[in-house]
Amino acid sequence: MLVAGKRPDDLVFSSPEGGPLRHGNFYVRHFKPAVFRADLSSRTRYHDLRHSYASRLIAEGATALTVMRRLGHSSIKVTYDTYGHLLPEQEEALTDRLDAIGRAARPTPTATVEVHSRRRTDPDPGGPYDKSDERAGGGAARSRLAAAGRAPRRRR
């Protein structure tokens, strides 16, 4: 492991003397020969590795927040602005995985429900509970209730 035994303020990569690496020396002596050995384009830059890492994180399902933290972005907006174009692929992959879970789930047995219609019969047709007047337009049933001394409650 690269950081085993190191303190938080130690360099992960250092010169043979323990100091910081000089970019020019590292680039010419180590990075470009590694690019050549890996059969990558000679135009490959060191920063391209950072983008490859971020793309791989996203492809493996890392959230944008995780990518932001690992790359040290100042805000989630920086991460979305830089790598947001990769997220639709992640959304599609997530949808596919959720569909697979749904297909693999055991189906639940369907219950049969019988619905019995019970008609309430009014013992006093034309009495205060007769709804026929209300269906026809309203106020007659309320008038009969009021005449019988049982005024309907007002809706609030």
Concatenated DSSP letters of 32-49: HHHHHHTT--TT--HHHH
Binned at pLDDT 50, 70 and 90, residue 56 comes out as very high
Q: How many CB atoms lie within 10 A of CB 68?
A: 21
The angle that helices 87-104 and 46-59 make with each other, rounded to 10 degrees, is: 20
**Cα atoms in the Cβ-side hemisphere of radius 13 Å centred on 14:** 11
What span, in angstroms and rounded, lies between the C-alpha atoms of 102 and 66? 27
C-alpha–C-alpha distance, residues 89 and 71, integer Å? 20
Please report which confidence band the pLDDT of residue 153 belongs to, taking 50, 70 and 90 as the band edges: low
What mean pLDDT is reported for the chain?
78
Which pLDDT does position 136 carry in this prediction?
47
The percent of residues above 90 in pLDDT, for the chain, comes to 28
Nearest partner of 56 among 37, 76, 46, 71, judged by Cα: 71
Higher pLDDT, 117 or 24: 24
Helical packing angle, 64-71 and 76-83, nearest 10°: 100
Compute the half-sphere exposure of residue 110: CA atoms within 13 Å on the CB side of its CA: 3
pLDDT greater than 70 at residue 144 = no
More confident of the two residues 2 and 61? 61
